[in-house]
Structure 1
Amino acid sequence: MPLWIAVHLPLLQLEAFRPNWLAEEAAVVFEHDRVSAISAPARADGVRDGMRRGGAQLLSPAAHWHERDPLREAALLGEAALALLQYTPQVTLAEEDCVLLEVGASLRLFGGIRALCRKVRVTIARLGLSATLSCAVSAAGAWLLARSGYVRTLRPASMRRRLERLPVALLPPARPHLEWLHGLGVRRLGELRRLPRAGLQRRCGKAVLEMMDRAYGEAAELHRWVEAPPAFHARIELPDRIDHADILGAYAQRLLAQLAGWLGARQLAVKQLRLSLEHERGRQAAPPTELTLALSVAAWQEEHLHALVKEKLARCALPAPAIALSLAADELDAMQAGSGLLFPEPGGSAEDHHRLIELLVARLGPEQVLQAAPQADHRPEVANRWCGVMQDAAALPSPLPGDAARLPPRPLWLLDAPQPLRLHRHKPFHRTPLEFASPPERIETGWWEGRPVTRDYFCAHDAQYVYYWIFRQWIGGEQPDQEPQWFLHGLFG
């Protein structure tokens, strides 16, 4: 059975200029010198719908004034539809600032209709929009219920009961005939349905009956689905000049919500993002600040991408105030299917590990998060070097083939420089005399570099049975009879 979610945006005219997280500021939108949209602070000042411009400016002189821009509203409605593609590929635009989603096939993936509605609300809020949601088994029914303020999940029978209580004025084809209908005492859809269909069609036209039939699920509905563009590039103009990069995180999530919808529709994941912070133009023009975010593993989850971008912005210093943001996906990969394991992996999945590493890199910088890169050398202090964790592990040099299986145990902690040990009764001493716990391991190498090394490594423990990795350094060359020296090189866990 199909199930529809209708997302009605009642404040689209106003939020096309100022997102809802700036709701504490007074703002008014005019259309033909009359008020068409008002923020809550301006309404508290006494501004009302339909008021003339002069009266509104007198009541709320500190408000932000805007002329209605249908093109900006249509663009923002399209951004909302693109962001919602991450929940279902069947998204369509409806009249009067509404987006419709057919989610019958998506319920199991997102944990049911209530959990899906919560996710849709979060996505719409990240776009800076206010919304009223409603669910129904027909698209027109969900659209009518959302515009009237109902937000519940409805079964077919309860949907019909609620539709019958809605005002007739919600039907666009019936509005030109409201005076005649009210004269008949018809003010609700239930009363309108009880009128003779033939007479109602002659008086009001066929469109009224067709829309009622679609709303009640008695007629087929045709839709034009929203399609994701072949490439992703999104841009947003900021309502004010912003001097601090960390404040831009709220606006960046609006772009990331669109990216998540585009990736979901295209079944892709992103490996590199490019966020451009645009600055002043004209005589004080400054080149855009480019922030590149590279991921070790391609991702598409909106929360993860937003956390990385937020950390990146927190470490960025703006050379000039930002007036716009743009986001581009530079490197893409196919979206990987989720794990099919019955039980979760202990310690988290590989994806969780990669997300943690990427978050640390974004917060601390790539030069502060390193990974071990083994090298083909028998000397312990040379057999490893540190490189950036974002570097491809397959491109790193590999150790000597077969060595890992033949080597004796190695300590977890290797000292930066071997620590000399003194002898006590012909035994190496570290806090207490050390007792040998393994036969010697001879390492003799480095002769090709002019620095030959001859060492005998031992596992040893003290009186408390703390295990150490020590070696005996042999001195050759001009002093072959000199007593060997002892060093501490590592500690076992």
Structure 2
Amino acid sequence: MSLWIYLHFPALQLNALQSSPNGDALNTSQGMIVVEGRKNEIIQMNQRASENGVCLGMGLATAASMCEGLYVIEYDSALESEKLKEIAHWLYMVTANISLVPPNGILLQASNMLTLYDGLANYWQALVDQLKHLPFEYSFASGFSPFAARMLAGKSFNQISQSERALFQAVKQCDLSETELSSKHITTLNRVGVHSIADLLRIPLPDIAKRFGSDLVNYVGRLTGLFHHVIDFYHPPKQFQRRFDLLFEIINLKLLEKPLLKLLALLESFLIMRDQYAHELQLELYLRDGNTSTVLVTSAAGEYQSKAWLSLFVLKLESMKVASPVIRISLSAVRVAAKQGEVSDLFDGKQGALSPLELLSVLQAKLGNESVKGIQVTEDPRPHLSSALCTPLEKAPSTVQPDQSLLRPSILLPRPKPLREKVAIIKGPERLSTGWWDGQAMIRDYFIARAENGRWLWVYRTPKQQWFLHGMFS
């Protein structure tokens, strides 16, 4: 028989709320409950509410009369499903064969991991060490079938064992109300004196089939491990995407740093697991008026650390304003790539606080991608076309090499100006007769001149003997 471990998270949504970045604003002495809207019943509660006599399954009106200042939260199945996936993703670092059991359970096939961890005790300790980093309370149990492990964990059995006899004895002591059987089946069995699993197992399977139908036979067979139980195992997503519901509306985007850092920490673990860097992240701000605002941040070098990404987002957000308060944020990785080995010269030493790619990422986050350009030499001899804007840090083709023997000014005017001061010609002329191929032909004689105030100028003369100032030497 295979050995299974079931983890039951009885207060998944409530724990997620209390552990949120702005959860410290909640009054910890206040009773808190999660209410299922359709039935108007309490399905989760904190210790304070329990101390005031509130019970699971109780109606909202009754609970409110028993606990003053009760904080009521509507049940969100989508949030619990997302948190369940986060837990599975976290556990995937230490174990395989994980199955999600919505709305609040995770099933682990332990048998295949015992050889790797040299026994059940070591395997379970690895799981506990991984779970202690998460804010969720849980109960657990092992069993020789998924149904058995789930039933024992649901009643907080909280024991991990490989003893088939001990586990079978624990299962038999369970009441039918603790099983996955429908209320109709439980009522039918109670009418004939069957109230526990032990009572049910005393009846032979052929008799169960005749008297109660095949559904009950299938349940008993899978509970005892006699029948095969089909399990869909969890596989981590290839793309990172997480959302976070804010407890309070935020209009000052600087206050988004804490919840954003939480999402970035999840991204960091996602990238570490895959040995990847992220090059572009997308942050969606969901506003109260129903609109969304998108923030794109890129890292030219690639980055995985949450604090590095946070600094880039802070630069981006400080220049943004939203028309309506933010109620939810969502983070997704647009571009990721495998880590590449860094190549550096041992004798170069540290050249600065930031590498060129890191500096580029900071400038793009602050100024915008379109505002940051590189510059490179072209093959065109015309001064105003001899260089061009390009993608930042892009290298010029090896065939384009500037003539180092030619003196060129460090400051080139956007447009030549008529020369209106007396100058002394120091060097020249340098004839430029070019541009005939694109209809912008030019014939100029360039000179290096010195003005009376000591400035070094780059001037030229046209065939019509007109003089112009085109640049200045620094």
Q: Paired residue for 1:213?
A: 221
Give the structure 2 partner of residue 329 of structure 1: 333
**Quick one: which amino acid aligns to residue 81 of structure 1?**
A
- How far the C-alpha of 1:334 sits from its partner, in A, is 4.3
In 2, the alpha carbon distance for the partners of 1:13 and 1:387 equals 46
Q: Distance in 1 between matches of 2:157 and 2:301?
A: 42
- Equivalent in 19, 31, 34 of residue 37 of structure 2: 31
Partner SS state of residue 145, structure 1? helix
Match of residue 386, structure 1, among 344, 351, 356: 351
Picking from 44, 54, 70, the partner of 2:51 is: 44
CA gap of 1:385–1:274, structure 2 versus 1, over 3 A, is: same
What's the secondary structure of 2:232's corresponding residue? coil
SS of the aligned residue for 2:230 comes to: coil
Structure 1 pair 280–34 and aligned structure 2 pair: CA distance change class (3 A)? closer
Measured after TM superposition, the shift of residue 325 of structure 1 is 3.5
Aligned AA for 1:27? M
Which of residues 235, 240, 264 in structure 2 aligns to 1:232? 240
- Segments of 5+ residues of structure 1 without an aligned counterpart are 300-304, 337-349, 355-370, 376-383, 394-493
CA–CA distance in structure 2, aligned partners of residues 172 and 9 of structure 1: 17
Give 2:140's aligned residue.
133
| Residue 11 of structure 2: aligned partner | 11
Any idea what the Cα deviations from partners look like across 1:263-320, whole Å, max 9, x if unmatched? 74xx45334574748475559x996677767887x76xxxxx5676789899999788
Q: Percent identity?
A: 18
In the alignment, the residues of structure 2 paired with residue 250 and residue 110 of structure 1 have an alpha-carbon distance, to the nearest angstrom, of 36
- Of 175-184 and 233-242, more deviation after overlay is shown by 175-184
- In structure 2, the CA distance between the partners of 1:279 and 1:179, relative to structure 1 (3 Å rule), is closer
Taking a change above 3 Å as real, the CA distance of residues 373 and 241 of structure 1, as seen in their structure-2 partners, is: farther
- Partner residue of 1:189 out of 197, 201, 206: 197
Shift of 1:70: 3.3
Q: Contact 1:8 / 1:133 at 8 angstroms: preserved in 2?
A: yes
**1: distance between equivalents of 2:111 and 2:307?**
30
Q: CA deviation at 1:149?
A: 0.8
For 2:108, the equivalent position in structure 1 comes to: 101
Q: How far off its partner does 1:193 sit?
A: 0.8
Residues 283 and 294, structure 2, Cα contact 8 Å, conserved in 1: yes
CA deviation after TM superposition for structure 1 residue 182, in Å: 3.4
- State the alpha-carbon separation in 2 of the partners of residues 190 and 15 from structure 1: 35
Q: Residue 387 of structure 1: SS of its match in structure 2?
A: coil
Distance 1:290-1:195 versus aligned 2 partners, 3 A rule = same
Task: Confirm or deny: 8 A CA contact 1:86 1:263 kept in the other structure.
Answer: no
Partner of 1:236, secondary structure, is: strand
Aligned to 2:125: 115
Check whether the contact 2:267–2:306 (CA below 8 A) recurs between aligned residues. Answer: no
Tell me which amino acid in the other structure corresponds to 1:144: M
Partner-residue secondary structure (3-state), 1:140: helix
Counterpart residue type for residue 212 of structure 1 = V
1:368-395 CA-to-partner distances (Å, cap 9, x unmatched) read: xxx99857xxxxxxxx7723455589xx
Q: How do 1:470-489 residues align onto structure 2 when only pairs under 5 Å count?
A: none
Stretch deviating more after TM superposition (19-28 or 134-143): 19-28
Counterpart of 2:73? Answer: 66
TM-score normalised per structure 1: 0.55
Shift of 1:180: 4.0
TM-score (norm. length: structure 2): 0.57
For the structure 1 residues 287 and 97, does the alpha-carbon distance in structure 2 shift closer, same or farther, using more than 3 Å as the test? closer
Distance 1:385 1:190, change over 3 A: closer
Q: Whole-Å Cα distance in 2 between the matches of residues 130 and 251 of structure 1?
A: 24
Aligned residues: 342
Could you tell me which residue of structure 1 aligns to residue 231 of structure 2? Answer: 223
Q: What SS class does the counterpart of residue 157 from structure 1 fall into?
A: helix
Give the structure 2 partner of residue 412 of structure 1. none
